[in-house]
Amino acid sequence: MLSVQVMGSGSANILQYRAKSAMVVRLYSDDDQSIALIDCGSKNLLSLRKDDFSKIRRIYITHTHLDHLNPVYFGWVLRKIKKASDNPKVKLFYPPEKERFLRLFIRACFLGRIPRFIEFLSDDEKNQLFFQSDEIKKIDEIQNTEVWACRAAHRTPTLCYAFKNPNLKITFPVDTIAGFPSIQKLGQNSCIFFHESTFPNKNKRWAQKSMHSTPSTAVIDALRSNSNHLALTHIADMRFGHRSLFKKTPKDIETTEEAILKQAAERLTLESIPFQTKESTKAILELKNHVRTILVVRDLDTFVFKNKRLLVRRKATNFRTRYIQY
Instruction: Report which of 57, 74, 54, 58 is spatially closest to residue 66, judged by C-alpha positions.
Output: 74
Angle, helices 71-84/99-109, rounded to nearest 10 degrees: 60
Which helix (H) or strand (E) segment holds residue 27: the answer is strand 22-29
CA atoms of 176 and 313, how far apart (whole Å): 27
In this prediction, residue 280 carries a pLDDT of 35
Q: Is 167 exposed, middle or buried (0-12, 13-18, 19+ CB in 10 A)?
A: exposed
CA atoms of 93 and 86, how far apart (whole Å): 23
Which helix (H) or strand (E) segment holds residue 266: the answer is helix 250-270
Which amino acid makes up residue 284? Answer: I
**Residue 102 in contact with residue 63, Cβ under 8 Å?**
no
Q: Is 238 exposed, middle or buried (0-12, 13-18, 19+ CB in 10 A)?
A: middle
In this prediction, residue 300 carries a pLDDT of 87
**What's the structural domain count of the chain?**
1
| CATH number of 204's domain | 3.60.15.10
Instruction: Report which of 60, 308, 297, 61 is spatially closest to residue 193, judged by C-alpha positions.
Output: 297
- The Cα-based distances of 29 to 33, 35, 125, 312 in angstroms read 6, 11, 25, 21
Q: Is 23 exposed, middle or buried (0-12, 13-18, 19+ CB in 10 A)?
A: buried
Beta bridge partners of 137: 149
In this prediction, residue 170 carries a pLDDT of 94
Instruction: Report which of 62, 57, 56 is spatially closest to residue 39, judged by C-alpha positions.
Output: 62
Is 256 in a helix, a strand, or coil? Answer: helix
> Which residues span the domain enclosing 310?
2-325
> How confident is the chain (326 residues) per 10-residue block, as mean pLDDT?
88 76 89 90 86 92 92 90 87 93 89 90 89 86 92 90 91 86 90 89 82 87 86 75 50 70 66 38 40 81 80 64 49
